[in-house]
Amino acid sequence: MKMKRIMFMLLAVLLVVTIVPAAAFAADSASGNVEIRLKTNSSTVAINGKQSTVQAPFEKAGTTMVPLSIITKAFGAKLKLQDNKIITLTYNNKTVVVTIGSKTVKVNGKDQTVAVAPVVIKGTTMVPVRVIVEAFGAKIGKDKKTGEIVITGTIAQSGNGNSNSGGGSTNLDPDYGKTKFGDSYYGWTMNYPPGLKLLNQNDDGSFVIWGSTTSDTSVIISTEKVSDVLTKSEIQDKIVSGWLGDDEVVIDKRTITVNGLNFEKVVTRTTERGLLFEYRALQKGDTLYYVMGGVAGTDKTALDPYQSLLDSFIPSFDSNDKTIKDITKVSNGLMSINNKEYGLSLKLPAGWYMDKDSSNPTYVSEDGYFSFSISSVKEQDNPQQWLARRQQLLHDDFLPNYIKNEKTSSLTLKDGNALVLTYEFTYDQKLWYTANEVLLIAGKYRYAIDFNYDSKTGSQGEALFKSTMATVDIDTAYVEKNYGQMEDEFDLDRSEVTVKTSTKYGYSVALPAYWFGVNTDFNKDSVAYVDSFGHMILQNIEDMSASSTAQSVQQSLQKEGVTVSGSTSFQIGSANVIKFSVQDVTEDDIPITDVFYFVENKGNTIMFLFGINNANATTSALNRFDTIVKSIKFQ
């Protein structure tokens, strides 16, 4: 329902994890025993007493989420990545398969459901730790004295039979007569990287990475469309800002000439991972080509053996050269998408990319937005009732002057007849988007497809919608066999609340159960939640009255030229509450309303900041803010 404009961020750190050697930790643990100590919300982890810094583990829905690299390094588990989201861990004779965004975990081929799906945060893959380490036969408990989570087990035996051979097309052992690989659509060619396997190629083929299962060697080719002719400084800046990790230090930066072509070159050394990276970039026409290599080491001479391989890259593809293996994913301008986990196949124009932050298959481009979700059929439900609820939700979420041209229709898909809700919507009264909500019921499951495009494209956008839907093919038999009960986020009871308690500050508050928590520890100073069209930030402020806090915030806003309006006050029991609102805009110039509440309790203040798009600031939405604040109960 919401037009997403999310920048494509390649998961470089995730990919580095896939080529960590299985024995990386074994040398530190001659006894074979493993003890991991960690705390949620702490970036320090100790493995057999040796401390290191990681992305902080966190707890959600009673599940502790930890960086995947902790498990692979500590236990010596081998790892294989497929489609940039399916991760297979092998430990002795045990196999665990987790999928980014999926709550289904396969343990030795049997499905288990976890409360929280694996997710990527700041480039680090976070996974539910208990189901994995228990599958490894390890024990997990808590040290009552230190508050640490303690995991104990043993390192994987060597030669445990985890072989990634048989990978078929992912094995880069040269085909007969092939000595090079390339992409005919993006127009580049390079020699085969000896001894490396194709670990990942994104949907449109604009990003390709090869790696080794026995070393930290990696080779990456990536392409990016650019609208202007870039200077060498601008290209170097793109390398540094777009690819370098937080622990990378630049040790070489210059222009080099290879085969008559000028590349911008940046070499880095990591301060924490013991790796060296060489980045090269070259612009040809409207395409910026990146050629990158990574190896283990601290001396830049460790990159010397890979210079001839990097030098072999050329920004062209000769279709008559039979020594080139074409790995393109684009045919006739279309890329084929096959999302096996969701049983979804379709074709989209080259240039669309998968939104890695979405929990379900979502693809975006400058031309549109495609999202796919699966949910269970409600008892005695039918397509017409489902459509009516989606229409009601549209009117609950948008003010009347922000939607127009609403209509319903039917559409024949490969898997049955669907109903379609079509309308135009806007967030700023300037840019309008056309939304198509395609609703299909087949067997025990419902399939929802959202396809949005800029209304200015008119018939062109409508043609893209129809041509895309004609390619959509859902493996309903696979879904029926492999899926259980699935809730629909758009069908959740919005009246349901969850009570959150702060023992430190002495209060509880009831929040909508469908809101998503970003920072959820109410014993900390700050708490944050988001919903589809806004957010809530709660700040606990000690030793300051509500009136003083409100006055200080107002003065700060007024200094920035922001006008405060609708200032009122009321009581919650004996607690004084001050409320006011301001008009603001997001980074995308979308008008929003910020509503502030200041609740005083025993000399302390609880400040609520609710932000909502003006388009979605309906009476019910604004009343919901009052209801949340008035639900406060003091201990």
Q: Could you give the strand order of the β-sheet that contains 188-191, starting from the edge strand earlier in sequence?
A: 188-191, 180-183, 324-326
Helices (H), 525-618: 546-559
Q: What is the pLDDT of residue 122?
A: 65
Q: For every residue of 166-230, which 3-state class applies, written as one string?
A: CCHHHECCCCCCCCEEEECCCCEEEECCCCCEEEEECCCCCEEEEECCCCCCEEEEEEEECCCCC
Q: CA 500, CA 496: separation in Å to the nearest integer?
A: 13
Q: What is the pLDDT of residue 51?
A: 84
* CB distance 461 to 368 below 8 Å: yes
Q: What is the pLDDT of residue 435?
A: 97
Residue 204: name the closest of 54, 33, 329 by CA.
329
Q: What is the pLDDT of residue 425?
A: 97
* CB distance 323 to 180 below 8 Å: yes
* CB distance 414 to 473 below 8 Å: yes
pTM of the model: 0.60
Q: What is the pLDDT of residue 5?
A: 25
* CB distance 490 to 393 below 8 Å: yes
Q: What is the pLDDT of residue 194?
A: 72
Q: CA 590, CA 3: separation in Å to the nearest integer?
A: 12
Q: What is the pLDDT of residue 127?
A: 92
Query: Bridge partners of 575?
Result: 572
Q: CA 123, CA 16: separation in Å to the nearest integer?
A: 10
* CB distance 509 to 499 below 8 Å: yes
pLDDT means per 10 residues in the chain (635 residues)?
27 30 36 85 87 86 88 83 76 89 90 88 82 91 89 74 34 52 95 81 87 81 92 96 93 96 96 93 96 92 92 96 90 89 93 82 91 93 94 94 97 96 96 97 96 95 96 96 88 88 94 90 93 90 92 88 88 91 86 94 92 94 94 92
Q: What is the pLDDT of residue 31?
A: 53
Q: CA 471, CA 195: separation in Å to the nearest integer?
A: 37
Q: CA 202, CA 329: separation in Å to the nearest integer?
A: 9
Q: What is the pLDDT of residue 84?
A: 57
Query: Bridge partners of 94?
Result: 91
Amino acid at 605: T
Q: What is the pLDDT of residue 491?
A: 80
